[in-house]
Structure 1
Amino acid sequence: MSIGHILVVDDEIEIRDLLAELLADEGYTVSSAADAIEARASIAVRRPDLILLDIWMPGQDGISLLREWHEHHQLGCPVIMMSGHGTVETAVEATRLGAFDFIEKPISLDKLLLLIEHGLENTRLSRENEQLRRNSSDPFELVGDSEYMTTLRAQAKKVAGHDAWVLISGEPGTGKQALARFIHHHSPRRHFPFIDTGGVAMSGRQNAAAELFGSELDGKIRYGLLEQANGGTLFIAEAADMDEQTQMQLISALENQTFFRVGGTEPVQVDVRVIAATRKDLEDEVRQGRFREDLFYHLSVVPLHIEPLRNHPEDVPILLTYYLETAHRIEGLPLRELTIGARNLLKGHYWPGNVRELKNLVQRMLILGAGDVIDEQEVQRALGFIPAHVDTEQAQGATLISLNLDLPLRDARDEFERRYLLAQLKSCEGSMTELARLTGMERTNLYRKLKSLGISANERS
């Protein structure tokens, strides 16, 4: 696999050929252009990772071409300017217009390779810093020391070594994106972008197509997510949300590794690994005719499932510590400690919103709470077990019914019903006859409801 695609723009064919041969030997793929016209055509076909641009060329010179890219916001990669007659003023102007660096002719090949390496590394670090700003915690970390999490990390590392497509399933908030980033970070593609479609509406046809495949209008190119991910990984945050038209376009693009931008006439080549995630049963979506069967089989070459947090509660304490420390270190929130009682209460929580709910809860307690210690009553208030106006003495007898407003309606309803029935079970000391009377439910329906919510008939707490 190539370590990067470089566009060489120079009117001297000897220089173009020399650089193409040298860079190919180093593991790069190379495109060449003799002037501004060919350079525009080249970036329309394939988005480069770095551009080597000669200043003095017939027709449009390198500085004015750089200015054009700068004004049209098309500098999506580092540009190294080359010149045999450069001046300080020219170098300053090139830097102002976004050039990464400047090298004089005759070119020192060792220096050029070093500049290229630094330019690509600078781009990679910028991407990672942007990811870290969007994600308050380490995006590559799968937190937990349980046997389950240890096995999941081992599976992810094994999958990372291959280039097969991956389908990650699991409830909302379980960490599907974190698992995808972990796989990318441990793969040979880790030095290339990880592009997440999570902020993009994947239905809506024309808008989704422009976001995914980019567009061309009046000679201006807008690179889509698929092209931005070239060489790296495209993470489809919720595969089931794609409309049929987007599914059809995506399967064609990914099968052939080529596509057309919206409004474009030339095919664009990409080399992308796909990791998709879903909270739904995609096989059922296929049976219902809402998801293309061919796309499903392409996406699910390697299926991975993330268990809900309630299935590995032994990871709750380390997750609590991790997010308490992370919120203090990155967000500047006060450093507070949980009492043993508070930790035990949280370990026994059902966590319908999974790791996302836990992280949000920690942030809420650090923002709204006071003091160095978080006790059991503060946790109960944060979970919604105890209304904020109820004092500690009243809280001792309060019925613990929580409602997490961050959840989708269906998940919130299931969690409320589960806590309601658990509380009623406790109050009637496990008597199903009394429980049926209290809830007003027929016993057959009651047993069915308890089973669907994962509640044992003899469960008391």
Structure 2
Amino acid sequence: MEATLGLNILVVDDEPDICESLAGILEDEGYVVSSAGSAEAADAFLRQASVDLVLLDIWLPGEDGVSLLRRWAAAGLQQPVVMMSGHGTVETAVQATKLGAYDFIEKPLSLDKTLLTVGHALEASRLQRENRALRSQAGLVMAPSGQSPAICQFREQLLRVAAVDSWVLLLGEAGTGKEVAARYLHSHSQRAAGPFIDLRAAAIARPNVAIELFGNEREGRITRGRLEVAHSGTLFIDEIADMDLETQARLFSALQERRIIRVGGVTPVAVDVRVIAGSTHDLVQEVQAGRFRQDLYYRLSALPLRVPPLSARSADIPVLIEEFMAFYGQRDGLAPRHFTAETLDVLRHYPWPGNIRELQNLVERLLILAEGPEVSAAEVEGALGLDNRLALAGGPEGEDFGGTLKRARERFERAFLEYHLARNDWNIARTAEVVGLERTHLYRKLKNLGIALKGERRAGEEDEEER
């Protein structure tokens, strides 16, 4: 079972002797125990602190425990609740279970029964959290993959940084895998048993970022923000420079003081979170331009790490392709395809302006629009738009020099012959005369380059329409 050290339990009971007795029993096992004597006091406690489990008595002054449980269930309380009563009935136990209570224990409380129930409830809650995390992360790459010198050095840096609990700043081009790096860092840190929560600041309207971060209190209903949900774990904030200055200031203050105030609330809530921030921007320039707070930048930049672009680790492309094919096979049932050595060579020489994200999108497209079990170099060039670049180039400066000399020659020959075929209305005899080839040689060349003749193209289009 999960270690008990540091887990927080709230006992809600109006009998001080019961609260004191439970506190003594549970604290001896390493739990942190707090108590509340009424539903109102329990609400107030949960507004300002996070707990891992609630022991709730049914008979309370004012609002009873079952009504309180019903209200918590409607508000989306995630923590397990164990009901207690000295006057319970089977009907009451069934009702509490239907409302979401984990279990029901009778007073006078048995020491062994109480500890066993608490342990099982916490274990079940942990497994539910892990299952939710696994479902949300199904197929996700959890570590920077590959054996290139650039990625090996970067993984070593992440492991060194994981050993300390400081804030971290991940810098790099869009699509380089900053979230994967953050997950890897978290999984090797002292907070690995805690949650990993992410916030994509660029994807949230600026007025809503504060609510997403700090939560909200409105009309008695509490919505917990990412900072509170990430308590005891890690919060990854991608594109942190997209936050407005007011939210930046509030974030810096909250993390310095280790407490937050929800939007619309007045009660401070304790939080213990490690922040990993990601950015594609030059934050020094953002600070100089007045768009990013200097104090927040200095705190983040204590441990800055630069994520290498895919162009600096092209040797890792085959490994990444295999991972993406496994992901789409598992998620969508797409069959894997074989990337030839020639195809991989084209991919290694491509500049990858969109980095790993662009490669992943390419693999998905090639699997969905599969033209056979093998991915050819020509198919990849078509998908990347490389086959049109040479034909559209206006001179040496506009030409594409990626790939091998053989591939460059094939691209030129394909573009050259298609150009002259079009100018001569796809007449083979005239085209052969213009380009200086014998007709049989031209036919063979067109076949090798995969260029269909006009009649073959028309027939192919008609067959496609019939399908």
TM interval, shorter chain, is: 0.7 to 0.9
Offset, 1:255: 0.7
Q: Distance in 2 between matches of 1:91 and 1:182?
A: 43
Q: Is 2:212 the partner of 1:211?
A: yes
Aligned counterpart for 1:18 among listed residues 21, 35, 40: 21
Aligned counterpart for 1:163 among listed residues 162, 165, 168: 165
Aligned residue in 2 for 1:238? 239
2:169 counterpart SS class: strand
Map Cα deviations across residues 66-120 of structure 1 (whole Å, 9 max, x no partner): 101122x231322222334444433332232222333344242430342243133
Q: Is 2:136 the partner of 1:131?
A: yes
Query: What does 1:37-436 align with in structure 2 at a 5 Å threshold?
Result: 37-71=40-74, 73-105=75-107, 106-107=109-110, 108-133=113-138, 136-138=139-141, 140-198=142-200, 201=203, 204-205=206-207, 207-386=208-387, 399=390, 420=398, 422=400
Asked if the contact 2:53/2:122 (under 8 Å) is kept, the reply is: no
Offset, 1:286: 1.1
Asked if the contact 1:11/1:58 (under 8 Å) is kept, the reply is: yes
What amino acid maps onto 1:137 in structure 2? L
Q: Distance in 2 between matches of 1:24 and 1:400?
A: 76
Question: Could you tell me the TM-score, scaled by structure 2's length?
Answer: 0.79
Q: Which ranges of structure 2 fall in alignment gaps of 5 or more residues?
A: 409-467
Aligned residue in 2 for 1:437? none
Offset, 1:166: 0.5
Q: Larger C-alpha radius of gyration, 1 or 2?
A: 2
Asked if the contact 2:201/2:242 (under 8 Å) is kept, the reply is: no
Q: Which ranges of structure 1 fall in alignment gaps of 5 or more residues?
A: 388-397, 403-416, 428-461
Are residues 274 and 96 of structure 1, via their aligned partners in 2, closer, same or farther at CA, if it must alter by over 3 Å? Answer: same
Q: Distance in 2 between matches of 1:400 and 1:5?
A: 67
Question: Could you tell me the TM-score, scaled by structure 1's length?
Answer: 0.80
Q: Distance in 2 between matches of 1:69 and 1:381?
A: 56
Q: Distance in 1 between matches of 2:64 and 2:5?
A: 30
Identical-pair percentage:
45
Deviates more, 1:256-265 or 1:148-157: 148-157
Q: Distance in 1 between matches of 2:91 and 2:392?
A: 70
What amino acid maps onto 2:356 in structure 1? V
Q: Distance in 1 between matches of 2:371 and 2:91?
A: 57
Aligned residue pairs total 399
Deviates more, 1:214-223 or 1:10-19: 10-19
Asked if the contact 1:101/1:115 (under 8 Å) is kept, the reply is: no
Offset, 1:341: 1.3
What amino acid maps onto 1:420 in structure 2? G
1:370 counterpart SS class: coil
What amino acid maps onto 1:29 in structure 2? V
Are residues 26 and 164 of structure 1, via their aligned partners in 2, closer, same or farther at CA, if it must alter by over 3 Å? Answer: farther
Asked if the contact 1:24/1:30 (under 8 Å) is kept, the reply is: yes
Aligned residue in 2 for 1:7? 10
2:390 counterpart SS class: coil
Deviates more, 1:104-113 or 1:240-249: 104-113
Map Cα deviations across residues 50-79 of structure 1 (whole Å, 9 max, x no partner): 2222223232221111101122x2313222
2:146 counterpart SS class: coil
Q: Distance in 2 between matches of 1:281 and 1:200?
A: 16
More helix by share: 2
Deviates more, 1:121-130 or 1:331-340: 121-130
Q: Distance in 1 between matches of 2:190 and 2:167?
A: 14
Are residues 419 and 4 of structure 1, via their aligned partners in 2, closer, same or farther at CA, if it must alter by over 3 Å? Answer: farther
Q: Distance in 1 between matches of 2:302 and 2:204?
A: 22
